[in-house]
A and B are shown apart, each in its own frame.
Chain A
Amino acid sequence: MAVTTHAAPPTAAKPRSGSFRPIALELWHDKAGMIGFTVIVLLILMAVFAPLIAPYDPAIQSVAARLKPPAWLPKGSWEHVLGTDQLGRDVLSRVIYGARASLLVGTSVVLLAGTFGVLFGLFAGFKGGRIDDLMMRLVDIQVAFPGLLMILLIISAVGPSLSTMIVVLAVTNWMIYARVVRGIVLSVRQTPYVEAAEMIGCKPGRVLFKHILPNLTSPLLTLGILEFTNIVLAEAAMSFLGLGVQPPATSWGLDVSNGKDYIFVAWWLITFPGLSISITVLSINLFANWLRVTTDPQEREKRFARLKAVERRRNGAPAGAPAKA
């Protein structure tokens, strides 16, 4: 076992807000989570610096260079590493620019829907009684809507565009936040410290945001990240159906849709944008999986117990003394 200079006691470190080193170390030790995190950072950099990285303008067409295969195939050339599409556009550049649509839509929808859902859930849970009943009934009703079909109908009535898609996805995806937040608020309200805060005369706003909201950070963070993957997939699917990002803008889903008529002659057209979507969602899932286990006290306890059991089996001695680094 390699000896590191900053050897934190394994899993015994209690992460407090503001102490990032133990958390970063834990992430470093979880291979899958670390890979996911690294890919996410790279994707964000790729989206932000797309004009600097991409070899070509993603919209520039060239009749001379149509349907060129990727560089490693017999007819390919290193001028177009991942080949070109039926209009002679560079696939690599389009894949790089495509990250922008996914991340932009994912972020704005999660922020919009999350803010509304959290406020809704906080208010319902805090007010309780009849108002809570009424508000949650509204949530139940909207959950029972035929979601995707309504989205299709609204978009076809209003006309597809990037902003329409963001608004519609936000309007149809806020309910889960409201439900989660309301559930937690109801249980936290019963705790003595919230009662005490109310007793000494804290205003409702202060109780809500200072005492109740901090309990929500960990579950909300995980929920937001998982919702982000759902939105990325939804954006891709809608752009694939022609109801999301509109040409000449680029999106991975749109590119798969453009390439689907050429699967007999040019497999690379659908392969690379589709692969980008999968890699993005998979990395976020891996990271979220790590985050959920790490920020949940119960999961930490289980993991700690498992670690101790392994140690005990290995040493044949009662566990208790901390393992030496």
Chain B
Amino acid sequence: MGAFLLRRIFQGMLVVLGVTLVVFVATRMVGDPAKVMLPLSATDAQRAAFNHQMGLDRPLGAQFITFVGDLSTLDFGDSLWQRRPAIQIVFERLPNTLALIGLGLGLAVTLSLPLGALAALRPGGVADRVVVFGGLFGLSLPQFWLGLLMIMFFAVTLKILPTSGVGGPSHYILPAVTLAIPSLARLMMLVRSSVIDELNQQYVRTARAKGMRFHTILFGHALRNALVPFLTLAGWEFISALAGYTVVVETVFAWPGLGLTAMKAIERSDLFLLQAIVFTVAIMIVIVNILLDVLYKLIDPRIKLA
């Protein structure tokens, strides 16, 4: 376990280093910060002054060392937009995003288990067809469009839910449902197919033959065994939501989380703020990945940590 954790932490550091390299290359070598961050009307002298002030006229190697040094102390520079340390803004907005992800994924996880299991009881039956088609349908809807349609229906036509922003609990409903739909579709289809596979196993036949009640077989054995791939996918859903897939939902519903902040940073050409968001999320993903690996081990003792 100890060696495993060390190896995973080392790998996590490689991930952060990789992100650092890509961000450095993209912002300093391919892109031109002066061009992105200064207005079009800036003169050459102003550009040169900006480059000098930011240290962008020094050799690339020296720039990279300063860059890494700043990052290791969580110093991402001041946000050009809000004129304060970028990392402060990130920590302010992060809870909003986490709440949205928690609610959306919680919804997807709790609904997908019963729906998927129901479909698996009779493959090809009515419930199964509804679930399979519903799943394919849920995977085919672009999230931004789904969100706008729901705003149109529930907020504009029926006027029962707020269109956007934060406030009471009712503000959570539409963004959380929008975020949940594609995850729900994927998780539901996975539960369905793994429970079908489990119910066809020999041990289920044995359990039936010796007279075990069906719902004990289903809940005690089939669903429980289906839980391992389910958790893998649920973990992946969480990570990819964290990795930026909330951007679309947050933009549609004006939800003041990290995603919307990233879009605002892009609009205002605030590379420092964007950089701070990318790094915070990268570090969080590394940590979540390690926690998930440990969790699998606890759930399924057969898994060897390597």
Tell me the nearest residue of chain A to B244, going by C-beta.
A148
B275 part of interface (Cβ distance < 8 Å): yes
B282 part of interface (Cβ distance < 8 Å): yes
Are A281 and B139 in contact, CB atoms less than 8 angstroms apart? Answer: yes
A225 part of interface (Cβ distance < 8 Å): no
Interface flags for A231-273 (1: CB within 8 Å of B; 0: not) read 0010011001101000000000100110010011001001100
- Docked pose: A152 CA to B275 CA in angstroms: 10
A-B Cβ contacts below 8 A, count? 142
Tell me the nearest residue of chain A to B283, going by C-beta.
A146
Are B144 and A145 in contact, CB atoms less than 8 angstroms apart? Answer: no
- Docked pose: A237 CA to B31 CA in angstroms: 23
In angstroms, how far is the closest chain B Cβ from the Cβ of A162?
Answer: 17
- Docked pose: A141 CA to B19 CA in angstroms: 9
Are B247 and A152 in contact, CB atoms less than 8 angstroms apart? Answer: yes
B48 part of interface (Cβ distance < 8 Å): no
Are A267 and B240 in contact, CB atoms less than 8 angstroms apart? Answer: no
- Docked pose: A156 CA to B266 CA in angstroms: 6
In angstroms, how far is the closest chain A Cβ from the Cβ of B23?
Answer: 6
Known interface pairs A149-B281, A260-B148; A285-B140 also in contact (CB < 8 Å)? yes
A24 part of interface (Cβ distance < 8 Å): no
B51 part of interface (Cβ distance < 8 Å): no
The residues of A that contact B266 with a CB separation of less than 8 Å are 152, 156, 243
Which of A144, A278, A282 gathers most chain B CB within 10 Å? A144
B81 part of interface (Cβ distance < 8 Å): no
- Write 16 A-B pairs (CB below 8 A) sorted by A numbering: A141-B15, A141-B18, A144-B12, A145-B18, A145-B243, A146-B244, A152-B274, A153-B23, A153-B27, A153-B274, A154-B22, A157-B26, A157-B30, A233-B142, A253-B142, A286-B136
**Which A residues form the contact surface with B (CB < 8 A)?**
137, 140-142, 144-154, 156-159, 229, 233, 236-237, 240-241, 243, 253, 256-257, 260, 263-264, 267, 270-271, 274, 277-279, 281-282, 285-286, 289, 306
Secondary structure class of chain B's binding surface, majority of residues: helix
B245 part of interface (Cβ distance < 8 Å): yes
Query: Which of B19, B144, B275, B277 sits near A256, CB closer than 8 Å?
Result: B144
**Which B residues form the contact surface with A (CB < 8 A)?**
11-12, 14-15, 18-19, 22-23, 26-27, 30-31, 33, 36, 124, 136-137, 139-145, 148-149, 151-152, 156, 240, 242-245, 247-248, 251-252, 262-263, 266, 269, 271, 274-275, 277-278, 281-282, 285-286, 289
- Docked pose: A270 CA to B12 CA in angstroms: 42
Are B136 and A282 in contact, CB atoms less than 8 angstroms apart? Answer: yes
In angstroms, how far is the closest chain B Cβ from the Cβ of A21?
Answer: 27
In angstroms, how far is the closest chain B Cβ from the Cβ of A231?
Answer: 12
Are B143 and A237 in contact, CB atoms less than 8 angstroms apart? Answer: yes
Known interface pairs A150-B22, A282-B136; A270-B148 also in contact (CB < 8 Å)? yes
- Docked pose: A152 CA to B278 CA in angstroms: 10
Tell me the nearest residue of chain A to B144, going by C-beta.
A240
- Docked pose: A233 CA to B138 CA in angstroms: 12
